[in-house]
Chain A
Amino acid sequence: MSNFDFSTSFSNSHFPNPIFTASGCAGSGKELAQFFSLAEIGAVVTKSIMLKARSGRATPRMAETPSGMLNSIGLQGPGVDQFLAEDIPFLQKAGARIVVSIAGETVDDYGSLARRLRGIAGVCAVEVNISCPNVENRGQVFACDLIASRAVVEVVRRTLGGELPIIVKLSPDVTDIVAIASEVISAGADGLALINTLLGMVIDIDSMRPKLGGKTGGLSGPAIRPVAVRAIYQVHQAFPKTPILGMGGVSNGRDALELVLAGASGISIGTATFGNPTAVINVKEDLEKLLIERGFSTFKEAIGFAHRGENG
């Protein structure tokens, strides 16, 4: 075995390896625990938790697209009370490092949610999801608005103090993602999660209406990987010290390496898990092999390596 150091960090939280699940793509953790040990991966990122239970959107909720899929789940979930009572104890017992993803309808919701996450064993970071495209009101996508993004991050920062790193999840559906990144970093974000799904639509040519119950949905899968690589590259170039949790169509080690070279400090696996329950483990093993083959002795050396020699 090699002495390769696969560990990574987001602010003051440290992880033995950089491969995470993606929010909304790993259920409660219980579903995947049958296929691998949750303690083996860097962290489990939970589905985005809201204050109250939420039914999500009507069906059909899914349409497969070339090298991807559209989903229109609409943040179905049990609400924070049940999440803390049932899901967290399971993840703690499984030895998982936990990144809790939170989503609110209002700025105050984010503050209330953050308050509930203080002092919980196993929770290593908070992902602030301000970019879910599947909400009734597109105005709710905070990440498309500089002022709203800042307000959410400030209230979470104020509530958590320095207790937990805050990773803010951004939408690629903006004109200038670097401007949004700049705003949330100055508001107190420790890291960024890039990218959420892209808003899309499929029309059923038999019914001749939008295929999804919610009409629009979030596009994910290998089809969006170049968008993720671009967003990570741009943001890392502008803010090289801010760690990025990269995601967007990663299904093997080669894909993960691409995002790492662009500037990701961690990689989340989402849609690939739908096609392969053990995708997270495969990516982890492949990425380690590829990094060693390329002569890296630590994972951290490879972060943003594609930027070497650039000015500034």
Chain B
Amino acid sequence: MKINRRAQQRSVEIVSNKKIGAYHHMIFAVGDMALHALPGNFVAISVGGPGSAMVLRRAFAIYRTHDRGNYGGTLELVVAPHGQGSKWLTGLPMHATVDMVGPLGTNFGIPTEPVNALLVGGGYGSAPLFGLAELLKENGCRVDMVLGASSAGKIYAPLEGKRAVNSMTVTTDDGSAGTKGRVVTVLPDLIERYNVEIIYSCGPMAMLSAVQDIAKQSGIMHQCAVEESMACGIGVCMTCVVPLRDETGAIKMSRSCIDGPVMDGASVIWNSNGVIPAGTIGAPNV
């Protein structure tokens, strides 16, 4: 298998940068990079400008892409400005350029037959799910979506995104929008009501792990886009690893930028931060 085979590195221009709630919706003119991106893929952007003290790239899940338009191929991101790097990025003016590498990583698998799909997003983790919803709809699937966040301002659900799904459920921790509580509180009911056959999720690791528990109880397939901090995004630094069980049952520390971000929820050994799970290949003898 060729690694990073669809990736390009190019200088791309910001053609739109709008604040929406707690996030920034940014559009970049990326040329034919847009042609190769699939839902679930991500891009890695260098931040801070020349001579920056921030030496590592920042990874962002692709919200959606368009092959052609006024600016040629475009690629869109939803960025939460909570770190130094993302604050720098969201503070850039129109027509500024950034160095982007992408598309990178695995994508969400699309069923060969129409099925009932439930998409679960946490915070800005909803972004890659809208492109996925469109693709699933084109393939004849029923698509329901549930989005959760700490408060109403952190739900990212644009109008056109809502139109792409059969139903939209919102949960907030503080009850400022939708049902009060976490996404998992509403999942069992949604699974039963819509006869869900596959779950797709994107968001913080704790949420993905909780979604996997429910998927397992219900005997449903679950594809999730994991979130581990990355240094390079292209598979060379080995920092973003997640313990993953392969077809043979062996557990390997697998790179979330190459073997992910989209992984089979049942293959991930969850809650492994700070530990090497027992049975991992090459684990230290203790």
Instruction: Give A residues with C-beta under 8 Å from B.
Output: 24-27, 30-35, 52-62, 64, 66-69, 71, 73, 76-77, 79, 136, 213, 221-222, 251, 271-278
Contact = CB atoms under 8 A, between A and B. Distances in A.
A52 B273 contact: no
A185 B57 CA distance: 38
Nearest to B256: A59
A31 B236 contact: yes
Contacts of B9: 35, 276-278
Given A34-B3, A34-B5, A69-B231, A275 B282 contact: no
The DSSP consensus for interface residues of chain A is loop
Contacts of B7: 34-35
A34 B241 contact: no
A277 B44 CA distance: 11
6 contacts: A27-B235, A31-B235, A71-B237, A273-B236, A275-B55, A277-B9
B238 A61 contact: yes
Contact of A69 (B56, B238, B241): B56
Given A274-B237, A277-B101, A53 B3 contact: no
B4 A58 contact: no
Given A58-B273, A277-B101, 14 more contacts: A31-B236, A35-B4, A55-B284, A56-B238, A57-B276, A59-B272, A60-B229, A71-B239, A73-B238, A77-B282, A79-B282, A271-B55, A276-B9, A277-B234
Given A25-B237, A76-B238, A60 B253 contact: no
A221 B5 CA distance: 27
Nearest to A66: B53
B159 interface: no
A53 B282 contact: yes
Q: What are the 3 closest A-B residue pairs judged by CB atoms, nearest first? A: A62-B239, A53-B282, A274-B232
A111 B78 CA distance: 52
A277 B55 CA distance: 12
Contacts of A271: 55
B205 to A, nearest CB: 10
Nearest to A34: B4
Contact of A62 (B99, B237, B283, B284): B237
Contacts of A30: 2-3
Nearest to B85: A64
Contacts of B240: 62
Interface in B89-135: 99, 101
B187 interface: no
A278 B240 CA distance: 21
A69 B57 CA distance: 12
